[in-house]
Amino acid sequence: MSDAIAIIPARYASTRLPGKPLADIHGKPMIVHVMEAVASVIDTYVATDDVRIAVVVQAAGGKVIMTDEQCANGTERVKEALLNSGQQPEIVLNIQGDEPMVNKQDIQTLLQLMRRPDVQIGTLVTPSKPTDHQSTNNCFVERLPDGLAIGFSREVACCSSQAWRHVGMYGFKGGILDELIALPPTAGEKSQRLEQLRWHESGYAIHTAEVAAAGLGVDSPEDLEQVRQLMA
C-alpha cells in the first residue's frame, strides 16, 4: 500500500466546455495527458462519475474510481474516491484534471511539503505577474515567510506585501478530509467562490510551497486551443 496517492477528479459536465476531460490534444484525451504525467511521480487514480471518462483512462492503462455525480466539489469527490479505493495512505494529493501541462516537479514539491510533520493541508503558490491580475478566475494568496497562508482572494489587493498566485494543487493528511467536508460553508467562501476559504476561516492551517510558475488550466475553447499550440 502506498503512503501517498494522487487523485484526479474528472467530471464530464462543464458549462463552457462540455466533455472537457476527453478533449483531444494531439491524438490523446486531456485527462490521459494529466494522468500519465502524475502517474510517473506517484500512485494515481482518476475519480469520475462518467463511464466515458473511465473507459478512456482504463484503455490508457490508468486506474479509475467511480464516484457519485452529486459530489458538490472536487474535495468531496476525492474523499469518496479515497474511501472506494480501499487504501489508507498517509498523504492524499488532489490534482486538477484540466491541466494537461502539469509540472512533475510541482508534484514533488507538494509531496515534500506534505511530508513535514506539522503540515495537514498543503498547496502551492508562485509569484504573481501583472497579467495574472486581468483574470477574475485567478486566486491570490497572502502568506507568512514560513509559507503559512493568511489569506486567499480573487483580488490581488488582499495582499499587503508580495502577492502570490495560487496553484490549484492540494495535499491532505489522512483523516482530515472527513473534517473538511463536514464544515459548513463560510461567508468568504461564498463571496469569493474559493473552497479553501471554508477551511481557512474555520481555523485550519494551510501551508504553502513556492513553485516556478502556474500551470495553464483549460476552462474554455480558447484555453484548449492555446494548450494545443503550446504542446505542439
pLDDT band with cut points at 50, 70 and 90 for residue 40: very high
pTM of the predicted model over 0.75: yes
Provide the pLDDT for residue 135. 79
Break the chain into its structural domains and give their ranges. Answer: 1-99, 103-214
Q: What is the mean pLDDT of residues 49-71?
A: 94
Residue 16 has pLDDT above 80, yes or no: no
**Neighbouring-strand partners of residue 7:** 45, 94
Provide the pLDDT for residue 129. 85
Q: What is the mean pLDDT of residues 46-64?
A: 97
In the numeric block, the cell 492540494 is attached to: 170
Residue 164 has pLDDT above 80, yes or no: yes
How far apart CA 169 and CA 125 sit, in angstroms, is 9
pLDDT tens-digit map of 166-175 = 998 999 997 8
Q: What is the mean pLDDT of residues 76-104?
A: 93
Provide the pLDDT for residue 157. 62
Q: What is the mean pLDDT of residues 112-123?
A: 98
Provide the pLDDT for residue 70. 78
Q: What is the 3-state secondary structure (H, E, C) of the chain?
A: CCCEEEEEEECCCCCCCCCHHHCEECCEEHHHHHHHHHHCCCEEEEEECCHHHHHHHHHCCCCEEECCCCCCCHHHHHHHHHHHHCCCCCEEEEECCCCCCCCHHHHHHHHHHHCCCCCCEEEEEEECCHHHHHCCCCCEEEECCCCEEEEEECCHHHCCCCCEEEEEEEEEECCHHHHHHHCCCCHHHHHHCCCHHHHHHCCCCCEEEECCCCCCCCCCHHHHHHHHHHCC
* Whether the domain at 1-99 and the domain at 103-214 fall into the same CATH topology: yes
Share of the chain above pLDDT 90, in %: 75
The CATH architecture one would assign to domain 1-99 is: Alpha-Beta Complex (3.90)
Provide the pLDDT for residue 188. 92
Share of the chain above pLDDT 70, in %: 97
In the numeric block, the cell 473511465 is attached to: 54
CATH 3.40.50.970 fits 103-214, yes or no: no
Q: What is the mean pLDDT of residues 12-35?
A: 92
